[in-house]
Amino acid sequence: MSDRRRAGKHVVAVAVFDGVEILDVAGPVQVFNTASRTAGAVDYDVVIVAAEPGPVRTSSGVPLVAERGWGQLGADAHTLVVPGGLREDRTPLVDQKLVDWLRTNGSLPDRVVSVCTGAHMLAAAGLLAGRSATTHWSTADLLASEHPDITVASDAIFVHDGPVWTSAGVSAGIDLALALVAADNGEAVARGIAQWLVVHLRRPGGQRQFSELLGPRRSTSERVAQLLTWIPAHLRDDLSVEALAAQVNVSPRHLSRLLREELETTPGALVERMRTQAAVDQLLNTDAPIAAVATQAGFGSVDSLHRAFARIYKVSPGQYRRRFSTQVDLDQRAALQV
């Protein structure tokens, strides 16, 4: 047993390489470092490793200094974190030296973690074969096409499959590190760290990488902006096109034109998206039965909720919860209706 293990520390090795994204490294490192200073938490010992000890150039130009070569890692490493990087053409940076080392040594740590496009290196090393995983939304399709043996959850913030954890893009490494701290120390410790770092323990909107309604779009008019704020607070009300139009003092025809021009949607589709997003929030952050979720989100019936999920996510509400939730434990999930 190594000196580190005898000292009772949980060793977290972060493998870096030229071109690594600095936040992919700094986010998880900050979480583990904060945990180490938290009463009652595991004492994490974070070490930066690279092909060789010494300086490593990050994508931002700010250098990192590797304390050890990853070839020096052995049974003393509990957690190995593989961050991501992008080439100039925005394709994933795959460091072949790291991939080669992972291929023969990836089973040494108790768990292997990737942040952002680091999943592409785990995949190249064969560590994701037959597993579920996620990565940055912009490279999820590429990961799935290059590695059809991986089930890519392109909408997830992070995915845990056996000893392997993968996260979505950049800041999602913080979410993943908090989940790891929760697994090691319990929810209360992780919540305290999240509060100290002024981040969410779990993001509003559940595990989704982004909401279509919050994604890139043209600037909205005052009336549309008002409607986007009003609808989520009135999901159980009458949200017909006539009711929506009356709320912002325009005709139904004019409202339909505004939504088509500014959001490229219809009043009915907008309402369905917002109700479905509210249902997602409940599915991922509560253990409420599906019927209660449907009612609270403003759906007239469970069947309506199922139809909306089938159209938007191609899965049932229960399947979505089981795939992405970290709030409900496995025993509880098994008892939840589909």
Does pLDDT of 336 surpass 60?
no
Query: For the chain, what is the largest distance between any 2 Cα atoms, rounded to a whole number of angstroms?
Result: 74
Please give the pLDDT value at position 91: 93
Q: Could you tell me the pLDDT band of residue 220, with boundaries at 50, 70 and 90? A: low
Q: Could you tell me the pLDDT band of residue 324, with boundaries at 50, 70 and 90? A: low
Q: Is 311:291 a contact under the CB 8 Å cutoff?
A: no
Q: Could you tell me the pLDDT band of residue 320, with boundaries at 50, 70 and 90? A: confident
Q: Tell me the per-residue pLDDT of 4-46, one tens digit each, with 9 for 90 and over.
A: 443 568 999 999 999 999 999 999 999 999 999 988 889 999 9
Does pLDDT of 67 surpass 90?
yes
Domains of the chain: 3-197 (3.40.50.880), 212-335 (1.10.10.60)
Least confident of 67-76, 124-133, 169-178, 193-202: 193-202
Higher pLDDT, 210 or 280: 280
Does pLDDT of 255 surpass 70?
yes
Does pLDDT of 327 surpass 70?
no
Residue 332 and residue 334: Cα distance in Å, rounded?
5
Residue 272 and residue 304: Cα distance in Å, rounded?
10
Please give the pLDDT value at position 63: 96
Q: What is the mean pLDDT of the chain?
A: 86
Does pLDDT of 131 surpass 80?
yes
Residue 318 and residue 306: Cα distance in Å, rounded?
9
- CA dihedral (124, 129, 133, 136) in degrees, to 10, reads 20
Residue 101: both structure tokens together: 């080392």
Q: Could you tell me the pLDDT band of residue 209, with boundaries at 50, 70 and 90? A: low
Over residues 269-287, mean pLDDT: 87
Does pLDDT of 92 surpass 70?
yes
Give backbone dihedrals phi and psi of 56, rounded to 5 degrees, phi first. -130, 135
Does pLDDT of 328 surpass 80?
no
Residue type, 274: M
Does pLDDT of 137 surpass 70?
yes
Please give the pLDDT value at position 201: 64
Please give the pLDDT value at position 216: 39
Helix (H, G, I), strand (E, B) or coil at 290: helix
Q: What is the DSSP letter of 296?
A: H
Over residues 105-131, mean pLDDT: 94
- Burial of 20: CB neighbours in 10 Å, binned 0-12, 13-18, 19+: buried
